[in-house]
Every structure is written in structure tokens, then in C-alpha cells.
Amino acid sequence: MTRKYFGTDGIRGLVGEFPITPEFAMKLGWAAGKVLAASGQPSVVIGKDTRLSGYLLESALQSGLSAAGVDVRLLGPMPTPAVAHLARAFHASAGIVISASHNPYYDNGIKFFSAMGKKLPDDIELQIEDWLDKPMTIDKPDALGKTLRQEDARGRYIEFCKASFPYHLNLKGLKIVVDCAHGATYQVGPAVFRELGAKVITVACEPNGMNINEDCGSTHPQTLQAAVLINKADIGIAFDGDGDRIVMVDHTGSVIDGDEIIVMIARARLQENPNLGGVVGTLMSNMGMEVALRDMGLDFVRAKVGDRYVMAELDKRGWTLGGEASGHIVCLDKTTTGDAIIAALQVLTAVVQSGQTLHELRQGMTKFPQQLINVKIAQKSDPMQNADVASGVAQAEKELGARGRILLRASGTEPLIRVMVEGENQQQISRICQTLADQVRSALG
């Protein structure tokens, strides 16, 4: 279905440019309020990451929701999955997150969760878009929504995360470096691991409104690698700006991505439940992940890139585990959406129960070499519609044969074409990937 405003992960863009303006945010709050009002007395929880522009958008959304008669609970800086959980915990009509995830501080976005803590259904998003095209009105003075600040939101979410870790276990004896990307997890992330007994060393936990994701977090794991080695830590954990993505680092300083994390969780789950069923990955998931899971006797299905599509496949098949190489991991037996803190706790559970180091636990999956190049383009378009690009892809696929893959896809949030080549020979796939990236740049850049 064609959307005018909503993308694959809410509405996102450059702050100050449409649609990330206070005027649009207020209208969006009002439009969402009008849709939610159909369910009776609507209420909404609003959380945000640490971007300076979050204050501006929060106030505008709050005004629009109040004008539509919606009560609002302000959660303050909170991870995206925390908003999903608290929407359910407070029996709210919806949860709203103000964040641009792993993007720089000058971007921001607005995304919604349903009362069940999941992404809004397509039909609700389309209803909101219909209201956005209508003139804004204000309810009668005695029908306006009220707003309060939820002071205990942080503690509630910390306890929720801890509940996903076995009560009879603890993290005593583990030294963990936690990189919060100067983002939404900077308070709750370290607290969770400390309260479970770990010695925690924090990195990038001093947000100033403009340093979110800057040379830190899950998109820049070099900072975490260095901190793990300097502090001789057992494990490193890095989140992105809004706390729904994770990468890990073992005591040798080696990075562990989302694919490897999923395999580790799947192996631990399988020991507890032989009827786990299967795992959902994406078109970007490494072939080594697919091989490892099938060696365990687990089915593996690839969804389109994006947590929305991973969730759809999990719901369709009745499975509980899935995610992306980027570190967006869904454990539906623990929560309703991708949650980096909870994913980390599932790996730490396996570490404690097995008595193995993270380095030992990650063995058993051999990653195929994979090369990814992001190509900036003038405007979003399908690269395979270009004859030169399509011809180049066909020639490269013939060269790789059955032991390799090529994927060209447009980013859902940025004007980029992601060129990915996977195979058994690093030199070969690097050459092919660069050739294809140059062809895309020449045709669409």
C-alpha cells in the first residue's frame, strides 16, 4: 500500500525540513489522536532519545494529541523497546518514539507502537495519513487531553529487562564494557547489568544532544573494541542511539554481529526447547548463519530487510526468534519488539549457564565473506531498472555461481543503494562489489 508520509520505520528526515518540523509534528499528533479516539478514552506514552531536537518534537506532538483529546505520559529519554513495553504496561492506546535510531543528531523521526507493543498495522497508519490531509480542529476546552511526566518509567523498564534473565543466575565475576552511543540507553543499560551483578565500565554515556552515534555505538564498534582490550574486559556490548540494535565484542576484541548473536541464542534456546521451529533472518543475513542453523535442524527463512518484515514472518509462522545482521534482534518469548538490552541478556544467560566465554560460545558459525558498499544516489529508485546495472549484476552472478549472492536494495531511511556481495573468496567479492557500486554510482549517483 502506498504511503504518503510513513516509511518502513515511521516518519524520518532532517530536522527543520518537512516533515520533521514542529508544525507537522503537531498535526501528526492531532491526526493520530483522532484515529485513537475511536477506541474510547485514548492515552499515549511518548519516549525519545537524546537528540536536542527531541524537546521540540515532543512538545509539538503533545500539543497535537491534547488538541484531539488524548492524555499523554511523557517518559523522557527511553529506548525504543521501552516505549513499546510501557505502552502495554500502562494500557495506553499507543506508544510514540521520537528518534532517528542510528542516524546522526541532525536527523530525527517519529514512530508508533500499538497498544500491544507492536508496530502499528498498515490500516491504522493509512487512517492517520487520511486525517493529516484534513483541517486541524481543537476539541472543546473541557475535552482536551492532560499530560503528566512518568517519573518511574526508567525503573519500570529496568525491572522488565531483568525479568528476562533467569532469577537463579547472576552476572557476578563478569567485567562488561557497555557503549550506549550517547543515546537512549545511557541510564537504563548500565543499570540493568550492574543490578544483575556485573562490573560495568561505561563508554559513550554522556549525551549532550549532538553526540548521539558519533564514532561510538553499534555502528562504530571500534570504540568498544578498544575499551574491551584496555580494560581487559570479558565482554563488550554496544547499542545504537535508540537501543534496538546491538553488537558485541569478545575478550579478544573481535566483533560479534547480529547474525552470530542470533545463532548463539538459537543454540541455547534449542537446548531448552527442541520444538523451537525456526529462525527468521533477512536478505542481508550471512549464508554462514543459514548453514549453522540448518546444521542444528532449524528452519531458516529470509524476510525483506527491516524489523517490520521480520516480525511479520515470525507472526506468520508462530516462531519467536529472528533479526538482522545489523543487530536488530527479536525475542518474542521475552518481549514484543526488537530490544538490544534483552538480546544481550539472552546471550549472557548462555554464557553463565554454559560456563564458556563469549569467544568460545560464538564458535560453530563460519561466516562467508561479505562486502557491503553504500552508494549515495540523487533520489530513491530501483537500481535494477537501469540496463547497465542489471547487466552488471547478471554477469557477476554468473561468475559467483551457486556459492554466492548479490543483493542491491534501496535504504528505507536514507538516499542510499546498498550493494552487497557474498561468496567464498574475499578478493573476488571485493572486486565484484566495487565494480557494481561504481556502476550504480555512475547510473544513479
What's the pLDDT tens digit per position in 135-185?
Answer: 999 989 999 999 999 999 999 999 999 999 999 999 999 999 999 999 999
d(CA 373, CA 383): 14
Beta bridge mates, 303? 282
Percent of the chain with pLDDT over 70: 99
pTM: 0.90
Q: Does the pLDDT at position 276 exceed 90?
A: no
Phi first, then psi, for residue 95 (nearest 5°) are -120, 140
Q: Tell me how far the alpha carbon of residue 92 is from its chain's centroid.
A: 22
pLDDT for 394 equals 94
Task: Kindly state the average pLDDT of the residues 106-127.
Answer: 94
Q: How far is Cα 425 from Cα 370, in angstroms, rounded to an integer?
A: 9
Whole-number Å distance between alpha carbons of 325 and 310:
12
CA distance 254 to 233: 12
Selection from 355, 353, 377, 347 nearest residue 256 by Cα? 347
Nearest 10 degrees: CA dihedral of 12, 16, 19, 20?
40
User: CA–CA separation, 393 vs 421, rounded Å?
Assistant: 10
Provide the grid cell at 425.
573468496
For strand 199-203 and strand 175-179, is the pairing parallel, antiparallel, or unpaired?
parallel
Cα gap 336→298, rounded to integer Å: 22
Overall residue count recorded for the chain in this entry: 445
The pLDDT of residue 95 is above 80:
yes
Residue 414 confidence class, pLDDT cut points 50, 70, 90? confident
CA distances 71 to 127, 140, 238, 391, Å, are 20, 14, 35, 56
Residue 1 has pLDDT above 70, yes or no: no
Q: Does an H or E element contain 393, and which? A: helix 387-400
The residue among 202 and 2 whose pLDDT is bigger is 202
Pairwise CA distance, residues 166 & 192, whole Å: 13
Hey, what domains does the chain have and what are their CATH numbers?
Answer: 11-152 (3.40.120.10), 173-254 (3.40.120.10), 258-361 (3.40.120.10), 370-444 (3.30.310.50)
Report the mean per-residue pLDDT for the chain: 94
Give 175's DSSP letter: E
Q: Residue 425, class by beta-carbon neighbours within 10 Å (0-12 exposed, 13-18 middle, 19+ buried)?
A: middle
Q: pLDDT category, 275, cuts 50, 70, 90?
A: confident
315-331 pLDDT, tens per residue? 999 999 999 999 999 99
Please state, as a whole number, how many other Cβ atoms lie within 10 Å of the Cβ of residue 56: 18
Q: Is the pLDDT of residue 285 over 80?
A: yes
- Condensed to tens digits (0 to 9), the pLDDT of residues 348-374 reads 999 999 999 999 999 989 999 989 999
Residues 6+ away with beta carbon under 8 Å from 358: 234, 235, 248, 250, 251, 256, 347, 351
**pLDDT for residue 3 is more than 90:** no
pLDDT, average across residues 54-80: 97
pLDDT tens digit string along 200-234? 999 999 999 999 999 999 999 999 999 999 999 99
Parallel, antiparallel or unpaired: strands 370-376 and 416-422: antiparallel
Nearest-angstrom CA–CA distance, 339 and 331 = 8
Residues with a catalytic annotation lie at 101
The strand pairing partners of 148, in sequence order, are 73
Contact 362, 260 (CB under 8 A): yes
Residue 206: predicted pLDDT: 98
